[in-house]
Amino acid sequence: MSTCKILVTGANGQVGSELQFLAKQYTDFEFHFTDVAELDITNEKAIVDLFTKIKPTFCINCAAYTAVDKAESDVAKATLINETAVKYLARTCQQFNTTFLHISSDYVYHNRVNRPLKETDKPAPKGVYAATKLAGDVVALAENLNTIVIRTSWVYSSYGHNFVKTMLRLGKERDKLSVVYDQIGAPAYARDIATAMLEIIVKIEAGKTNFRGIYHFAPAGVTSWYDFAKAIFDMENIDCQVAAIPTSAYPTPAKRPHYSVLNCDKIKRTFDLEIPYWKDSLKACLVILKEA
């Protein structure tokens, strides 16, 4: 049986870094990690050249333009990375019979449905980041028959810049912080996302599932940014008062979804995945941050 080769793009981001950490546990797989220095995903010829050399079985795209507010004034670059590059990757995957796993975002919805969002819900993106992420999802599924789009929310990790690390820093610097209370969702730990993607690959390799399509991945439970901040401070015994403010009191160039709770029944059912509760994952991440 030939070796399963996994190409990871955007390998220095939060999910990509977690995949690098987890790779040593998956010894049956041959990993190839690339970031912009090793592969310019906006250059289709460079992608084809690398695929010709590696011939990957799977390609996990962790690369994205994620500066949500900056995207409002940087439309060309956001489109290039979140849509055009995704088209190139998906098209090359199709050419080489490579399964394409692509990470997307809760931002594509911006819906108020008063129940956890399902993969079949109609997207309604607001803002450049949201629109380009949706466009990337659409083109990935159109260009490659074997595409899995995984939409997640509120990503954090022990790597990179994120809400958890910002709160830990500010909580130690200040006596009081204001955090929005009326944006509801679930914070996804990047290591959980990375683990889920590798377990999906294990299941596909074992031939146990029919997989193409869109899936949601987020932890069990529901919270707000305000309660998320409170949980971080409580777990770390940080004496910082948190004031709850409405989104209207903290204007940003890009609109945030008010409701980002994702229904994850499909991914759990299809791939027989267990998804942790958000506070358990937060605890795990905080332990790792303390050890760093």
For 179-190, what is each residue's pLDDT tens digit? Answer: 999 999 999 999
Average pLDDT over residues 250-254: 93
Average pLDDT over residues 213-220: 98
Domains annotated on the chain, with CATH: 4-161+187-219+261-277 (3.40.50.720)
Please state, rounded to an integer, the average pLDDT across all residues of the chain.
Answer: 96
pLDDT-derived band at 84, boundaries 50, 70, 90: very high
Model pTM above 0.75? yes
Average pLDDT over residues 76-92: 98
CA distance 41 to 88: 7
pLDDT-derived band at 265, boundaries 50, 70, 90: very high
DSSP 188: P
Average pLDDT over residues 149-164: 97
Smallest CA-to-CA distance from 189 within 171, 229, 166, 162 is with 162
Is the per-residue pLDDT at 92 higher than 90? yes
Is the per-residue pLDDT at 97 higher than 60? yes
CA distance 227 to 209: 37
Q: What single-letter amino acid sits at 20?
A: Q
CA distance 139 to 166: 34
Considering the candidates 129, 159, 189, 226, report the single residue annotated as catalytic.
Answer: 129
Residue 1 has a pLDDT of 55
Q: What single-letter amino acid sits at 189?
A: Y
User: Is 156 one of the catalytic residues?
Assistant: no
Residue 213 has a pLDDT of 97
Helix (H, G, I), strand (E, B) or coil at 100: strand
Average pLDDT over residues 252-265: 95
Average pLDDT over residues 234-250: 96
Which tokens go with 179? 């955090």
Is the per-residue pLDDT at 112 higher than 60? yes
292 neighbors 221 (Cβ within 8 angstroms): no
pLDDT-derived band at 273, boundaries 50, 70, 90: very high
Return the percentage of the chain with pLDDT > 90, whole number.
94
pLDDT-derived band at 107, boundaries 50, 70, 90: very high
Residue 110 has a pLDDT of 85
CA distance 253 to 141: 30
Is the per-residue pLDDT at 209 higher than 80? no
Alpha helices in the chain (DSSP H): 14-22, 44-54, 75-79, 85-95, 128-143, 163-173, 190-205, 225-236, 265-271, 278-291
Residue 111 has a pLDDT of 75
CA distance 194 to 60: 10
Smallest CA-to-CA distance from 154 within 206, 77, 249, 229 is with 229
